[in-house]
Amino acid sequence: MSKPLTPQELHNLAMNHVGKDLEKRGFEFIAINSKLKKHPQFVCMDANKQYFFVIVKAVLLPDNANNYDVVWMESFKEHARDKNAKVLYAGVGLGNPNGEDLPIFLDQEYLIEYNGIQLIETNLN
């Protein structure tokens, strides 16, 4: 019998989807941090040598993966400005196709809602 994915495993699943998207977009990976609640998950560089801090957030559907903690994000944006990096946010919604109250199981189909990567403006407000 399959076991439900842990929060860390759900986070890793979301990171795999986002990592493939970043790779497809031509980013070079400088560092990867897959520990839950450690940010950023990816430090990348584009072709122009611009650094990007990528935050990945996995949520269980029907929660909206595009929502993030705005107050926390302000402090993270300050960290990015200090390092001359831009901030990208990637929310990933995951769910069980047989019902939103059911867990996601290892080696079984799952639903994914991923709207791509959002650039978070780091300008001072």
Q: Global pTM? A: 0.92
Alpha helices in the chain (DSSP H): 7-24, 70-82
Q: What is the pLDDT of residues 108-117, one digit of tens each?
A: 999 999 999 9
The structural domains of the chain, ordered by start, are 7-97+109-120 (3.40.1350.10)
Question: Which of the four pLDDT bands, split at 50, 70 and 90, describes residue 107?
Answer: confident
- At residue 122, the pLDDT reads 80
